[in-house]
Structure 1
């Protein structure tokens, strides 16, 4: 009888974990799409009702988002999507520029032909996916993830994952801007060429330029979308 009881509990526990993962992925996607904007309240009862699950996996999902730095607890408001100020946005992109520039330099030394072929294939898919913002976003994530893994540095991978998670708060992808999507493909190709040639310094410089272009597009998006992130005084670009 006892063994039967244990067998009955395990599936329920597994279902709970799956629901928690589903709730986390759903809320993460809503933050990324901008459906849940900075400052939006995350109410367990509302989310549980909307996703047709219990409050327990929703609570777990909110805790995970808080651990990721995407959610904060505000007095009298409870859990809310974090709002980044201008300085934090700049710091986030500065950190991303450093990490991904370093990844490109290390990849020039460590990347295999298979990894380079994968980067080229992903970038070609991006070229063909222009106009499909959701597809472009997913492919761009794949490209940068593959590049970072090609650097062969586990500590860099962890740091980059943390920065990428924080970027979700900013909502819309810069690749929704048509000219940015086109430029990103060209910039990716330049990074790949430098890596394939084993030119570490050139790969890092090219990746840094790519990140800085993305940062400029992000700042323009924030200023034109009514975002709570202000432009610094005197910045007219």
Structure 2
């Protein structure tokens, strides 16, 4: 098979990533119609790779395809949000309880260093978000279950549609950091039940913040 035959696949994946980042950056708002012709012209591509990219984003839950109406950026309902947080809490609590048992001392030292970096980033919201995601991802990697990792990554993409309504809440970053501190304390003490409960509470508090009314 020639390398040329891989080009269409690479192109639609690149387009999917570009649109994904636009959605996360709120350049494409939840509920907004996706003008395929305009985007294709803007990117200098045909509509075929664009439509393939939209299928990828639809499978991730970021785009909703409506019959005879086209593609829309997904709007996350209150139920969607509760369901996503519920599943994330269960999956990550299970992952972290596994890490307590299986992680080496070096692994725990790595997580502690990441947590300390998170503490230093408290005043830099964007950096805090990035480090927070990296910390959670590393926990999942250390739990060594690729299926769980894939499920969490897909769920977190949907959760990002509501990002501006969670950690952006006044005081939520500080609260989240304190919760991470409790998780790290239980991890370092290798307390399986305690660390799982800390993670469940972390997501319960995150959901509460995400559902809170926007400040005036």
TM-score range, shorter chain: 0.7 to 0.9
Hey, what does 1:95 align to over in structure 2?
87
Q: How does 1:53-72 map to 2 (within 5 A)?
A: 53-72=45-64
Q: Does residue 1:224 correspond to 2:214, yes or no?
A: yes
TM-score (norm 2): 0.87
Q: 1:69 to 1:148 in 2, by over 3 A?
A: same
Shift of 1:93: 0.9
Hey, what does 2:35 align to over in structure 1?
43
Runs of 4+ in 1 over 6 A off after TM superposition: none
Q: Does residue 1:120 correspond to 2:127, yes or no?
A: no
2:84 and 2:9 mapped to 1: Cα distance?
31
Q: 1:225 to 1:167 in 2, by over 3 A?
A: farther
Q: CA RMSD in A?
A: 2.4
Task: Count residues with an aligned counterpart.
Answer: 216
1:49 and 1:129 mapped to 2: Cα distance?
40
Shift of 1:104: 1.4
CA contact (8 A) 2:165 2:211 kept: no
Match of residue 79, structure 1, among 62, 66, 71: 71
Task: Give unpaired runs (5+ residues) of structure 1.
Answer: 1-5, 227-237
Match of residue 138, structure 2, among 146, 150, 174: 146
Hey, what does 1:3 align to over in structure 2?
none
1:53 and 1:139 mapped to 2: Cα distance?
34
Q: How does 1:122-137 map to 2 (within 5 A)?
A: 122-137=114-129
Hey, what does 1:24 align to over in structure 2?
16
Match of residue 194, structure 1, among 186, 204, 209: 186
Shift of 1:213: 1.3
For 1:69-114, what per-residue CA distance to the aligned partner results, in whole angstroms no more than 9, with x for missing partners? 2211124421111222212211111111111111111111112233
Larger radius of gyration: 1
Task: Give unpaired runs (5+ residues) of structure 2.
Answer: none
